[in-house]
Chain A
Amino acid sequence: MDLVGRKLSLKGGQLVRALFAELTGYLKDNPDAPYREELKGAIKGLEQATLWLAQNAPKDPEQAGAAATPYLRLTALTVIGYLWSRMAAVAGQQLEAGEGNKPLLESKQASARFYFEKLMPEADWLLRDIQSGKDSLMALEDEHWTA
């Protein structure tokens, strides 16, 4: 709740804008960024989730409460995706230049691939979770719990 309830609206949304500037700035400065399309998709998903919260949370704080956990996880997966792209980029440059610790750099490349193929896709269902809102979480009344 600290993230969606407080941090997103601090300074008129400046905090999350700083994050998007960091992420999109990286893609802009690095046209050959590894896993560029996957990362771009994740950033877009995070933008959509943020927009959904901006549209729904102010009129219904429970929507923010319902989205808190998947939104935080989506943020984490996206930022970690950005960092895996950077790690893979550095590993590629060093391998090409014949520098550094070869097994470590090769493992970084394989690990980045695993991240984008096996872990990053979770971002898609997190976005769907967020956008489906609070209804199914809050639907049960007292008599339903004891039915």
Chain B
Amino acid sequence: MQYQAPANDLRFLLFDVLGADKLHELEKYADATPDLISAVIDEAGKLAAEVIQPTNQVGDRQGCSYDPETKLVKTPDGFKEAYQKFVEGGWTALDAPLEFGGQGLPHTLKFVVDEMVCSTNLSLGMYPGLTHGAISALYAHGSDELKQTYLEKLISGEWTGTMCLTEPQCGTDLGLIRTKATPNDDGSYAIEGTKIWITGGEHDLVDNIVHLVLAKLPGAPDTTKGISLFVVPKFLPDSGERNPAFCGGLEHKMGIKGSATCVMNFEGAKGWLVGEPNKGMSAMFTMMNEARLMVGMQGLGLAEMAYQESLAFAKERLQSRSLSGPKNPDGPADPIIVHPDVRRMLMRQKVLNEGMRALALFTGHQLDLSVAHPDEKVRENADDLVQLLTPVVKAFLTDEGYNNATGANRYWVALASPRTGHWNNWCATAVSPASTRAPTASRQWIWWAANCP
């Protein structure tokens, strides 16, 4: 079935409940009038349904493929074209800073778009999603020279970005990192080491990939206080020379098969320090906080798609008669939506989704107030709420996203419908955001259990 963006719910929530209709009264967001926000909702909904959703199932069936000869990765059919349309529509630049070609719109709108993209093809959404984190880290911590070199192309979507944190022996405990950064004579660093689970580490959607890599300087302490952040491009921006940052293979996963999750080998690749030496954790948290909110939207996006498919099926599948007398007397049976236990599942999905959307957009709205409100007290209070609620958005929305997808699967499993296979894919997809909860509760094993074949 075709995805239908929850546009009316979004308008009710943003304008009538949360007060986002007043965002344009803040100088920073003067462009974000209710008319513009409404247009963004409608356009993003159209893009999601017409451009992104058609790539979802083929992406899952084909997956990405790796060529060990060239060490290159091919994305599934249609991904490149859909990504191009995403870029042409300016969606990668939505809330990015104006001075580097962004549109400077409120973060709330990014949340709205993230949900729709994740409902329709989470795998595809991961490429610009990770890029967004790289943009924020470079913008907040990079030197002017690094910003000039990278930001415009990342924001326009011409290049994509990655976050290279995890290593085979090092997941949530980043003090265990072994990747080394050795100073070169020209002020750059030689990066050596292996990173795993790198989303978008290698792919064919764009010409250049900008890796943000955590590594240790010589003599740095073996704790998180000894980690620095480096920017390592696939091709050096000045010379176009290939940097030895190669994909060593694709990770095998249950779901998100269209997202290239790579092993990355840095073989003395040239990198440049982002921010201060040994202060990589703070730069990493800039990416991570944002990534956590986005992961929450992934959970919500999947929960919404699971609900829409469940509702459509519950209305169309005819089985048994209503306990209060036939509701479809001319048909052989009543649609299963008449049964209280089916209602229980549907209501739970609907009410939790709308509640989770309210929680996420409440947090998004506070994020906007925390950066754009003229009153310092309001900014500080909003920032306090965002900090507190970020892990809540991430963990609760991904837990319930997973529950919702598996809950939806029950309709099909119970009825032995041919759609079961399709739904298993959805559940497998939902495992991914749910498993990124690992850092929250230090449950690394969930990730392994979920993603190892």
Contact = CB atoms under 8 A, between A and B. Distances in A.
Are A and B a genuine interacting pair, yes or no?
yes
B2 interface: no
Contacts, number: 102
Nearest to A113: B351
Interface in B344-364: 344, 347-348, 350-352, 354-356, 358-359, 362
Contacts of A84: 351, 355, 358
A75 B381 CA distance: 18
A119 interface: yes
A33 interface: no
B16 A73 contact: no
A101 B12 contact: yes
Interface in A60-95: 68-69, 72-73, 75-76, 79-80, 83-84, 86-87, 90, 94
Most chain A CB neighbours (cut-off 10 Å) among B381, B384, B399 = B384
A115 interface: yes
Interface stretch (A2-10, A35-43, A51-59, A133-141): A2-10
Contacts of B392: 3, 72, 75-76, 79
Contacts of A2: 390-391, 439-440
Contacts of A115: 351, 355
Interface residues of B, number: 34
B440 A1 contact: yes
Given A18-B381, A111-B351, A114-B351, A73 B396 contact: yes
Main secondary structure of the interface of A (DSSP, over half): helix
B17 interface: yes
A72 B356 CA distance: 14
B389 interface: yes
B387 interface: yes
Contact of B348 (A15, A73, A118): A118
Contacts of B328: none
Most chain B CB neighbours (cut-off 10 Å) among A22, A79, A104 = A79
Contacts of A73: 396, 399
Contacts of B388: 3, 7, 15-16, 18-19, 75
B347 A118 contact: yes
B12 A104 contact: yes
A118 to B, nearest CB: 7
A72 B350 contact: no
A: interface residue count bin = 35 or more
A11 B8 CA distance: 39
A87 B439 CA distance: 33
B385 A19 contact: yes
B396 A76 contact: yes
Contact of A83 (B9, B16, B347, B358): B358
Contacts of A15: 384-385, 387-388
Given A1-B441, A73-B396, A90-B17, A10 B387 contact: yes
B361 to A, nearest CB: 9
B396 A72 contact: yes
B13 to A, nearest CB: 7
B384 A14 contact: yes
Contact of A114 (B347, B359, B390, B391): B347
Contacts of B396: 72-73, 76
A72 B385 contact: no
Contact of A80 (B356, B381, B395): B356
B407 to A, nearest CB: 13
A79 B381 CA distance: 16
A119 B17 contact: no
Contacts of A114: 347, 351
Nearest to A17: B384
Nearest to B350: A111
B8 A104 contact: yes
Nearest to A107: B350
A100 interface: yes
Nearest to B357: A83
Interface in B1-21: 8-9, 12-13, 16-17
A7 B386 CA distance: 11
Most chain B CB neighbours (cut-off 10 Å) among A69, A72, A84 = A72
B12 A18 contact: no
B320 interface: no
Interface in B394-427: 395-396, 399
A105 B17 CA distance: 12
Nearest to B9: A104
A92 to B, nearest CB: 12
15 contacts: A1-B440, A2-B390, A2-B440, A3-B392, A19-B388, A68-B440, A68-B441, A75-B392, A79-B362, A83-B362, A104-B9, A104-B12, A111-B350, A115-B351, A119-B348
> Which 5 residue pairs spanning A and B have beta carbons closest together?
A76-B396, A83-B358, A18-B384, A80-B355, A15-B388
Interface of B: 8-9, 12-13, 16-17, 344, 347-348, 350-352, 354-356, 358-359, 362, 381, 384-385, 387-392, 395-396, 399, 439-442
